[in-house]
Amino acid sequence: MTKDSEKMNRGTEASIDFRAIQKLSGPAANSPLLVDFKTAAGLIGVGVSTFYAMDRSGELGPQGIRLRRRRLWAPEELAAWVRAGCPRREKWVALSKNLKEGA
């Protein structure tokens, strides 16, 4: 291997953040970033039809993310919503906006 090729290889290795990869190898690496209606309902302890009704009425704070034809929720946001006392959507949007601005 020539000195030039060694420099190229070192440059490639340095661009990979192995610490970030190691952080992802823990328990969080196995949990999904987004969950569907059924899983989200199970996370907060209600049935799918109740979850759907809560979402439609605005009783469910997190709005979820539309990804093509699916609605998905971040488990972290659902957990934060429960810790906040399960406020209605209007209040949750204001609370989460304040939390994001403060962070």
Per-residue pLDDT of the chain (103 residues; tens, 9 = 90+): 555 544 444 444 445 554 554 554 455 567 889 999 999 999 999 999 999 999 999 999 999 999 999 999 999 999 999 999 999 999 999 998 887 776 5
For the whole model, what pTM was predicted? 0.68
3-state secondary structure the chain: CCHHHHHHHHHHHHHCCHHHHHHHCCHHHHCCCCECHHHHHHHHCCCHHHHHHHHHHCCCCCCCEEECCEEEECHHHHHHHHHCCCCCHHHHHHHHHHHHHHC
Q: Domain spans of the chain?
A: 32-102
